[in-house]
Structure 1
Amino acid sequence: MRFCPKCGSVMIPDRKRGVLVCRRCGYEEPIDPEKAEAYKVKKTVEHKPDEGVIVVEEDVRTLPIAKVKCPKCGNEEAYWWELQTRAGDEPSTIFYKCTKCGHTWRSYE
């Protein structure tokens, strides 16, 4: 991640032009070819409301664990994570994945 030397904001790569651009003040600088790999997107996640649940973490064992009952097997522990699946002014959605059976469900609280 590169920060703008003028205003301190995060600079965004413009790959078509081969420059980093500050969205706040407009400062631009060329992308160093040796560091170009660092500006590539490693993983993208697309989610549509009618699709199933998605997990952002590839290894769920790195996620925190909550004391919540699995609706499928009754186990009392599940990994959890939070995603903004609706508009920004709406509350986020909490997802759970059972530590025993792997069942995934969401909470709309």
Structure 2
Amino acid sequence: MMFCPECKSMLKSYDGKLRCPKCGYEKELDSTDKSHLQKVNHIQEKDIIIVDGDKEKNVTLPTIEIKCPECGYELAEWWLRQLRSADESEVRFFRCVKCGKTWREYD
């Protein structure tokens, strides 16, 4: 990450410049900065998986031993999602690997 030398906020890329949203500091992007931004963007796009709706193809989710309320099978994939305000806990979702039933669990 690239940080502002004046206020230490994270710099953002706008129109070929790095700009601080807090204090307004600006710096022209040089070749090192561009290379770093390409690596960061590549990693973020590659490594972040968002599960929404139908099961994504070629995505491996972690599994847990938990009984499916539909078929009774005891293995399901799971993931977390923030549905309520940020100060409340995430909701755990489960999907049975046998029948595909999806259910949720709250704290």
Q: Structure 1-normalised TM-score? A: 0.60
Partners of 1:4 and 1:27 within 8 A in 2: no
- Equivalent residue for 2:89? 91
Q: Deviations over 1:75-98 (max 9, x none)?
A: 111111111111111111111121
- Equivalent residue for 2:76? 78
**C-alpha distance in structure 1 between counterparts of 2:63 and 2:13, whole Å:** 36
Which has the greater radius of gyration? 2
> Identity of counterpart residues, as a percentage?
39
Q: Counterpart of 2:52 in structure 1: which amino acid?
A: I
Structure that is richer in helix per residue:
2
- Alignment coverage as a number of residue pairs: 98
- Equivalent residue for 1:3? 2
Which residue, 66, 69, 94 being the options, matches 1:68?
66
Where do residues 1-109 of structure 1 align in structure 2 (5 Å cutoff)? 2-4=1-3, 6=5, 9-14=9-14, 17-31=15-29, 35=35, 38=38, 39=41, 42=45, 54=52, 58=56, 59-61=58-60, 63-109=61-107
1:22–1:73 Cα change, 3 Å:
farther
1:22–1:37 Cα change, 3 Å:
closer
Partners of 2:4 and 2:20 within 8 A in 1: no
